[in-house]
Amino acid sequence: MRARRDCLKCLLCLAEKASAEACADLPALLETVRAQTAEYVRIQFSEGESVPTRVATGFLRLSKELTGNPDPFRRFKEREFAMSAKALPLVAGKCGGDLEGRLKLAAMGNRLDYFRPFEEVEREWREFDFSFASLDLREFENALETARKILILADNSGEALFDLPLIEFFERAGFEVSYCVKGEPSQNDLTREGAERFGLHIENLVDTGSDCVGVEPPFSGEEFHAAWKNADVIVAKGMANLETLTEYPEFISKKPVFFLLCAKCDPVASWLGVERGSVVFVSGTGMVE
């Protein structure tokens, strides 16, 4: 997805947060890192041309380089995992145990805003309308009829807890499920090391082999490409995977790809034809700008 005007403000905000996390133990470097990452964003950003996720990958790498901190969001990921453990019981009973319910639960994990106090999230979720704004369930079920292997592309660390019931549902139905995490630290996304540290027991865990925001196939490792090739159906979680994979129409057109996410910003919501904050499960067929 190419950048809209609104993306600049969002990228600058994310660069600010990344700088703060990277310099948590290095306060003397904060102003330098903040200034250089913001400058990087302004130089790389071009409305209608640049891809926001690629700009984010660049300044996240810059913050690591400037601070010598290989995993700036490590403590943030620990906080968000604890937040997910508290949030999961609020919604699990409202989503149901069928396929749509498990997809809905996984989508709500993506909707959880880890940058807000849990008390605010709790109040909002107790009254939230747990329904999809867009749902390509029939097309997904049709794809599953001839499928044996499913690949799920993970997103944030905390939402992995919301994905486990979906993985369990697929496995009980006889599917072989692979769960793909980041190869190296990338913002607050789940990595292989993080999955082990948080005690997530996922049988077929693979990784992208890179620290790119989202998934960039040309820069992904052999393990990722093998998992993609072997999968019959792909479920990609989160906006970053949507924004990056749709830049590779030939790559994603070779097999059924479905995007499961919360549209957290106006540009993505507008592109999907839903209101900001909506959760969707949509086919990737034809979803290329």
Q: Are residues 171 and 28 in the same domain?
A: no
Whether residue 17 is found in the same domain as residue 125: no
DSSP states along 182-223: BSS--TTB-BHHHHHHTT---SSEEE-SS--SS--GGG--HH
For the cut 80, the answer to whether the pLDDT of residue 130 exceeds it is no
Residue 99 lies in a domain: yes
The verdict on 63 and 179 lying in the same domain is no
Mean pLDDT value of segment 128-151: 93
Q: What is the pLDDT of residue 115?
A: 77
Q: Are residues 176 and 270 in the same domain?
A: yes
**Average pLDDT across the chain, whole number:** 94
> Are 275 and 141 members of one domain?
yes
Per-residue pLDDT tens digits for 25-83: 999 999 999 999 999 999 999 999 999 999 999 999 999 999 999 999 999 999 999 99
Residue 276's contacts (CB-CB under 8 Å, 6 or more residues apart) are: 263, 264, 265, 266, 269
Assess if residue 244 is contained within a domain: yes
Q: Is the pLDDT of residue 289 over 60?
A: no
Percent of the chain having pLDDT more than 90? 86
Which pLDDT score, from 0 to 100, does residue 129 have?
65
Give per-residue pLDDT as tens, 188-226: 999 999 999 999 999 999 999 999 999 999 999 999 999
> Has residue 289 been placed in a domain?
no
pLDDT of residue 125: 73
Alpha-carbon gap, residue 205 to 284, rounded angstroms: 23
Quick one: tokens of 135? Answer: 């749902």
Do 99 and 62 lie in one domain? The reply is no
Q: For residues 234 and 144, what is the distance between their CA atoms, to the nearest angstrom?
A: 10
Tell me, yes or no, whether 85 lies in a domain: yes
Please indicate, yes or no, whether residues 206 and 131 belong to a single structural domain of this protein: yes
Is the per-residue pLDDT at 92 higher than 90?
no
Do both 80 and 32 map to the same domain? no
**Domain around 120:** 74-283
The domain total for the chain is 2
Per-residue confidence (pLDDT) for residue 95, from 0 to 100: 86
Domain boundary among the residues 17, 41, 67 is at 67
